[in-house]
Amino acid sequence: QKEVEQDPGPLSVPEGAIVSLNCTYSNSAFQYFMWYRQYSRKGPELLMYTYSSGNKEDGRFTAQVDKSSKYISLFIRDSQPSDSATYLCAMRGQEGNTGKLIFGQGTTLQVKP
């Protein structure tokens, strides 16, 4: 079993829809949680960076972390065609370790005009 599980999709939604992307994980030592967006043939771009449990909002994006359930989510409101990309969740343990990230497989999102 992988440390981080993410449904690869693809996920197709109409423009303006609310999108929910999710990851589950098995390692309770993970403390830092990230969402990256990756356009085709580009490197991952950091979207959200959160520590421990709770919510974080940035514009149309909201990240949620539920450590008790080992479950993280990214919500995209008012989705746009420009949001069409692959979304990767990533996580790591406490400061002081190597900082290497463990990634999910990525979910491919298509927002149709």
Partner 1 sequence: GAGVSQSPSNKVTEKGKDVELRCDPISGHTALYWYRQRLGQGLEFLIYFQGNSAPDKSGLPSDRFSAERTGESVSTLTIQRTQQEDSAVYLCASSSPSREQFFGPGTRLTVL
Q: Can residue 17 be called a binding residue for partner 1 (CB under 8 A)? A: no
Q: Can residue 61 be called a binding residue for partner 1 (CB under 8 A)? A: no
Cα separations in angstroms, 68 against 20, 23, 31, 32, 55: 19, 14, 12, 14, 14
Query: Which stretch in 11-19, 37-45, 57-65, 72-80 sits in contact with partner 1 by CB under 8 A?
Result: 37-45
Residue 5 · residue 25 · CB < 8 Å: yes
SS3 3: coil
Taking CB under 8 A as the criterion, the residue among 63, 76, 90, 109 binding partner 1 is 90
Taking CB under 8 A as the criterion, the residue among 11, 13, 17, 102 binding partner 1 is 102
Give the separation between CA 48 and CA 54, rounded to whole angstroms.
Answer: 13
Give the separation between CA 73 and CA 21, rounded to whole angstroms.
Answer: 6
Q: Can residue 21 be called a binding residue for partner 1 (CB under 8 A)? A: no
Q: Can residue 105 be called a binding residue for partner 1 (CB under 8 A)? A: yes
Taking CB under 8 A as the criterion, the residue among 19, 106, 109, 111 binding partner 1 is 106
- Name residues whose C-beta falls within 8 Å of residue 51's C-beta, 6 or more positions apart in sequence: 31, 32, 33
**Residues that bind partner 1 in the complex, under the rule CB under 8 A:** 4, 6, 8, 34, 36, 41-46, 49, 88, 90, 95-96, 98-106
